[in-house]
Chain A
Amino acid sequence: QVQLQESGPGLLKPSETLSLTCTVSGGSVISSNWWIWVRQPPGKGLEWIGETYHSGSTNYNPSLKGRVSVSVDKSKNQFSLKLTSVTAADTAVYYCARRPYYAVDVWGQGTMVTVSS
């Protein structure tokens, strides 16, 4: 079965760029799925960040647009998230996940990212 694993720095300073990678195992990024990112600030609810398809199509949360980009690396069977100019408000657990239709059916375990000077 498909498994997802997030990786990337856990601590950033304000104004830096958050870069996370999600490695897909047991399946291919070149499939009929959207590959998505969701975050969850400590003690709070889920926030949809954005998604990408292997064709290069993307959709983003309008509240983050301008700072966020999501892309697929077919050669590495990975997809990635970049969020620029981070602040403390971007501190959260970041999840990568799969959306085959109108539901998210596979999730990574999540990675905590803290923004602090």
Chain B
Amino acid sequence: EIVLTQSPGTLSLSPGERATLSCRASQSVSSSYLAWYQQKLGQPPRLLISGASSRATGIPDRFSGSGSGTDFTLTISRLEPEDFAVYYCQQFGGSPMYTFGQGTKLEIK
């Protein structure tokens, strides 16, 4: 089973600042197999990024993904008030077990 470890657990920033979220895999994952989601309280997750760096339909370009191998990053270039939420990464390389990271909570400072 591939374990994904996200850091930090909680990130406190102000609107307008840059957010950098990390997702580290316990073994190498193809970039094609790494996705990022945003989840707000009481809502289902929303797909942000697939293939490590491809924004999903309708996702603003302030969201970007990067990385390869075991280290992946989600960057929000300039935080908007609606961006404060919990973010999860997910890998699809460890078939048939498609694990999620434990999440990073992005909160307003």
Residues of chain A having any CB pair with chain B under 8 Å: 45-48, 59-62, 95, 97, 101-105, 107-110
Could you list some 9 contacts between A and B, CB below 8 A?
Answer: A45-B101, A45-B102, A46-B39, A47-B100, A62-B1, A62-B97, A103-B47, A103-B51, A107-B44
Residues of chain B having any CB pair with chain A under 8 Å: 1, 32-35, 37, 39, 43-47, 50-51, 56, 88, 90, 92, 95-103
CA distance A105 to B56 in the complex (A): 8
Report the minimal beta-carbon distance from B105 to chain A, rounded to whole angstroms.
Answer: 11
Contact of A103 among B35, B97, B102 (CB under 8 A): B35
Contact of B45 among A46, A59, A101, A102 (CB under 8 A): A46
Q: Check if B50 sits within 8 Å of A46, measured CB to CB.
A: no
Total number of residue pairs linking A and B with CB closer than 8 Å: 57
The 4 closest A-B pairs by CB, nearest first: A59-B96, A103-B50, A107-B44, A102-B92
Q: Check if B50 sits within 8 Å of A101, measured CB to CB.
A: yes
Q: Check if B32 sits within 8 Å of A45, measured CB to CB.
A: no
Q: Check if B90 sits within 8 Å of A104, measured CB to CB.
A: yes
Q: Check if A95 sits within 8 Å of B50, measured CB to CB.
A: no
Q: Check if B35 sits within 8 Å of A104, measured CB to CB.
A: yes
CA distance A79 to B1 in the complex (A): 26
